[in-house]
């Protein structure tokens, strides 16, 4: 599989580092506006694009990939307001898009546990719930997309208003990502935590998503990959 990396920061380098071991080739990296034109030939040889950039540029990057006929795996978070429109464009044009707030397999298992725990907590008003997410100082969006996913799951399962679920965002050092959901009552505390030790889990998940996406049409998520 030939891969175009849209965004060549920490995640792009991590994906590149794992790609060859899975039999794939990174044929192109695009890290600024000028490179879209300068690397047009290389982009044309790609089978799939993996996009990790910024919330301000992600939508335009995805649409450019659509224009090139490239399936695109997008790991950028913070552009949720545009997701429905982009997904609709994807389906209408026969394109392929894979989005996730977190590509780590472990984190997606935690999403499943979070939904189950929230269901059990429905109606148990003696428990107060909050989320703490910690990331490196370079992360641009806060709260993280992962924390927002956790909060939305809790709100849907418990009928609590989304804005009644506190999310604390901590930015320190080079922390890859830690997310903790905590339920507290006067008599006990129950917590779920996922702690990433490196970006390797995210990079592997993005490559698995790319392998899944090639040859398909439509909008997909980690639930499609895992189930």
Pick the catalytic residue: 13, 24, 95, 139?
139
CA angle at 196 for the pair 100 and 32, rounded to the nearest 5°: 55
Rounded Cα–Cα distance for residues 203 and 214 (Å): 17
Q: Is 72 exposed, middle or buried (0-12, 13-18, 19+ CB in 10 A)?
A: buried
DSSP string covering 14-65, please? HHHHHHGGGT-EEEEEE-SHHHHHHTHHHHHT-SEEEE---TTTHHHHHHHH
Cβ neighbors of 208 (< 8 A, separation 6 or more) are 103, 105, 225
Pick the catalytic residue: 24, 95, 135, 194?
135
Strands 2-6 and 128-135: unpaired
Q: Is 189 exposed, middle or buried (0-12, 13-18, 19+ CB in 10 A)?
A: exposed
Q: Is 197 a catalytic residue?
A: no
Among all residues, which ones are annotated catalytic?
135, 139
């Amino acid at each position: 599989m030939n891969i175009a990396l849209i965004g060549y920061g920490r995640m792009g380098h991590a994906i590149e580092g794992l790609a060859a071991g899975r039999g794939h080739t990174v044929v192109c990296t695009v890290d600024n506006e000028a490179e879209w034109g300068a690397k047009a030939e290389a982009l044309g040889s790609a089978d799939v694009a993996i996009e990790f950039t910024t919330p301000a540029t992600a939508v335009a990057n995805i649409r450019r990939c659509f224009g090139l006929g490239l399936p695109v795996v997008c790991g950028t978070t913070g552009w949720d307001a545009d997701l429905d429109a982009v997904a609709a464009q994807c389906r209408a044009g026969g394109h392929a898009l894979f989005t996730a707030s977190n590509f780590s397999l472990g984190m997606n298992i935690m999403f499943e546990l979070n939904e189950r725990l929230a269901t059990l907590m429905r109606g148990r008003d003696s428990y107060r719930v909050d989320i703490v997410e910690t990331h490196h100082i370079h992360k641009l969006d806060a709260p993280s997309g992962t924390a927002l996913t956790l909060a939305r799951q809790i709100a849907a399962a418990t009928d609590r208003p989304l804005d009644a679920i506190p999310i604390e965002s901590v930015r320190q050092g080079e922390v890859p990502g830690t997310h903790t959901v905590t339920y507290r009552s006067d008599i006990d505390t129950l917590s779920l935590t996922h702690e990433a030790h490196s970006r390797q889990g995210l990079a592997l998940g993005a490559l698995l998503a790319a392998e899944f996406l090639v040859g398909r049409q439509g909008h997909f998520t980690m639930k499609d990959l895992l189930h």
